[in-house]
Amino acid sequence: MELTIIIADDHPLFRGALRQAVCGLEPTPAIVEADDLDSARRAVAEHSDADILLLDLAMPGMNGLTGLISLRSEYPGLPVVIVSANEDQATIRRVFELGVAGFIPKSSGIEDIRAALTKVLEGGVAEPEDFVAGRDHDPEIEDLLQRLQTLTPQQTRVLGMLCEGLLNKQIAYELGVSEATIKAHVSAILLKLNVDSRTQAVIQLSKITQLQSA
């Protein structure tokens, strides 16, 4: 059975390093590359049977963890492995709370990368060696995560675009729908997040999407 692995990173040299690591897996996978969130989304849409998405958190379009939330909402069955230079413990905990299958520090060697990917392909979860498991047990954050999971994939994309400061008509143009449809999505988002305004929705999302300094 052929494997398909999507490598999404905006640095060509690091994509090359990941490609070298991935090519050492058995069987040798088919590799699809992307260099920003939009191309990653297209790659996943075109390869819906992909086995793993290797995702850089700092690519153009990611907007902190908003891009991860969007992809997880749109493709919940696709194992996502974060590959990041940001090794902050709080950030790693947050991405696992958001449902990723693994986290690989960019400082990892090729053999460590292969070992992590093999673990995920076997159905496991790949955690960094020095990762301290456990949750912050912040009731507000846990409630927000649960509320975000009630958003539809399109609502999640709209919320991400709100965080980028786009107006309804701009979001409508980007998504190819009417402005009235976007207004309906925004109303639903506010209701599900239990907030009264777009600004409050953005503030709520920023509580879990802002990355800590690497």
State the fold for domain 4-121: Rossmann fold (3.40.50)
pLDDT at 213: 44
Q: What are the residue boundaries of the structural domains of the chain, listed by start?
A: 4-121, 139-209
Q: What are phi and psi of 138, to 5 degrees?
A: -90, 110
pLDDT digits (tens, 9 = 90+) for 58-67: 899 888 788 8
Burial code (b: 16+ CB inside 10 Å, e: under 16) for 53-63 equals bbbbbebebbb
Domain 139-209 sits in CATH 3.10.129.10: no
The model's confidence at residue 158, banded by pLDDT at 50, 70 and 90, is very high
- Does the pLDDT value for residue 214 go beyond 60? no
4-121 matches 139-209 in fold:
no
Nearest to residue 143, comparing CAs of 189, 190, 193, 99?
193
The pLDDT > 70 percentage for the chain reads 95
Whether the CB-CB separation of 190 and 64 falls below 8 Å is answered with no
Count of beta carbons in the 10 Å neighbourhood of residue 214: 12
pLDDT, residue 129, reads 84
State how far the Cα of 41 lies from the Cα of 53, in Å rounded to an integer: 10
Please tell me the predicted confidence (pLDDT) of residue 101. 95
Tokens 């790693």 -> residue: 92
Give the whole-number percent of the chain exceeding pLDDT 90.
54
- Output the pTM of the full model: 0.83
pLDDT at 113 over 50: yes
Which tops the pLDDT comparison, 208 or 34?
34
